[in-house]
C-alpha cells in the first residue's frame, strides 16, 4: 500500500455514531448503523442501509420469505452460516467468511435463516441502484470464503469483498472492503476515488481511524477526498471500508422497496 502522510490528503470523519437496536424479520434484534439520525442520506449516497446481525442457533425462522426491489444487497457472513432460498430457484448455504450478493432490480423474493445447531453473525449492506438498473432482472451470486482473495500486509489483511476490483461486482461504482489489523498494527489506503461518499464500520475490536477513536458497533461517516488510515488498539481491529459514487437521484423508500 502506498503511504500518504500529510493530513491534508486524507479523508475526514464527519461523525461517529453507534449502531442502534431495532427489530426486523420475525422479530429478531439487529443493530442498524445506517440509516439513522445524524447520518444525512444525501451525504451517504449511494449507501442505503447497514445492519449488524448476531443470532443464536434457533429452529425458528429469522427472516421468512419477503420481497426486495430497487437495491443491491451484500450479506457478509462473519460467523456461523446462513441458508438462502429465492424466487429465482437459488437454494444455498453461505458459510463463515463468505458472502451473498442480491441485485434486486425489478424484484425478487427470498428468505434467510440460521442453520440447525449454528448461530449467525452477519453484516448486511444495501446500496442504491440507478433508475436503469432498477428496471432489470434480478441477479444472485454466492461466494464462499475461499472465493474471496486475501491480500496480506504487515500486521493485517485486506479482502476486497465487492465493487471495484472486488470478488463480487456491484452495479453502482463503489468499493466494499474488509480490513483486519493485528493489535497495534497500522494501515493506510493510498489513493482512493475522488468524490465518492462512504463510511467505516467496526466489526470487532477498536482503534484509531483518521485520528478518531472507532469502537466495535460504531460507524464513522466520511467526507472529502484522499486516503483513509487506521491503527488498531490492543485487541486488534476488524472493520469495513465502503466508498461509492453518488447517484444524485430521488429515493422513494418503502420498506424493502427502493424506487
Let me know if residue 3 belongs to a domain. Answer: no
What per-residue confidence (pLDDT) applies to 8? 47
Residue 26 pLDDT grade (very low, low, confident, very high; cuts 50, 70, 90): low
CATH number for position 153: 2.60.120.10
Residue 58 pLDDT grade (very low, low, confident, very high; cuts 50, 70, 90): confident
Let me know if residue 239 belongs to a domain. Answer: yes
Structural domain harbouring 157:
8-258
- Structural domain total, the chain: 1
Q: Look at strands 212-215 and 197-209 and give their pairing.
A: antiparallel
What per-residue confidence (pLDDT) applies to 29? 87
Let me know if residue 2 belongs to a domain. Answer: no
Q: Please give the helix or strand (H or E) that residue 22 lies within, else none.
A: strand 20-24
Whether residue 162 has a cis bond before it, omega within 30° of 0: no
What's the CA gap between 188 and 184, in Å, rounded?
14
pLDDT of residue 256 exceeding 70, the answer is yes
What per-residue confidence (pLDDT) applies to 62? 79
What per-residue confidence (pLDDT) applies to 91? 96
Q: Please give the helix or strand (H or E) that residue 131 lies within, else none.
A: helix 131-134
Let me know if residue 69 belongs to a domain. Answer: yes
pLDDT of residue 249 exceeding 50, the answer is yes
User: Who's near 182: CB < 8 A, 6+ residues apart?
Assistant: 155, 156, 232, 236
- Please tell me the chain's helix, strand, coil percentages from 3-state DSSP, rounded to the nearest 5: 5, 60, 35
Amino acid at each position: 500500500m502506498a503511504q500518504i502522510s500529510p493530513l491534508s490528503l486524507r479523508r475526514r470523519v464527519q461523525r461517529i455514531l453507534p449502531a442502534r437496536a431495532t427489530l426486523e424479520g420475525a422479530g429478531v434484534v439487529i443493530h442498524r448503523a445506517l440509516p439513522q439520525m445524524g447520518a444525512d442520506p444525501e451525504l451517504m449516497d449511494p449507501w442505503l442501509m447497514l445492519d449488524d446481525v448476531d443470532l443464536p442457533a434457533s429452529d425458528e425462522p429469522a427472516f421468512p420469505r419477503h420481497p426486495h426491489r430497487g437495491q443491491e444487497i451484500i450479506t457478509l457472513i462473519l460467523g456461523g452460516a446462513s441458508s438462502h432460498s429465492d424466487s429465482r430457484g437459488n437454494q444455498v448455504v453461505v458459510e463463515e467468511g463468505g458472502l451473498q450478493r442480491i441485485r434486486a432490480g425489478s424484484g425478487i423474493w427470498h428468505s434467510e435463516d440460521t442453520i440447525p445447531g449454528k448461530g449467525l453473525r452477519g453484516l448486511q449492506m444495501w446500496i442504491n441502484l440507478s433508475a436503469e438498473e432498477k428496471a432489470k432482472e434480478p441477479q444472485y451470486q454466492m461466494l464462499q470464503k475461499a472465493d474471496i482473495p486475501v491480500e496480506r500486509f504487515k500486521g493485517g489483511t485486506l479482502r476486497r469483498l465487492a465493487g471495484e476490483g472486488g470478488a463480487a461486482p456491484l452495479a453502482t461504482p463503489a468499493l466494499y472492503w474488509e480490513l483486519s489489523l493485528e493489535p497495534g498494527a497500522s494501515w493506510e489506503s493510498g489513493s482512493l476515488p475522488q468524490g465518492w461518499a462512504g463510511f467505516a464500520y467496526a466489526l470487532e475490536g477498536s482503534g484509531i481511524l483518521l485520528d478518531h477513536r472507532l469502537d466495535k458497533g460504531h460507524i464513522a461517516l466520511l467526507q472529502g477526498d484522499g486516503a483513509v488510515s487506521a491503527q488498531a488498539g490492543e485487541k486488534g481491529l476488524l472493520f469495513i471500508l465502503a466508498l461509492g459514487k453518488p447517484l444524485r437521484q430521488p429515493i422513494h423508500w418503502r420498506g424493502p422497496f427502493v424506487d
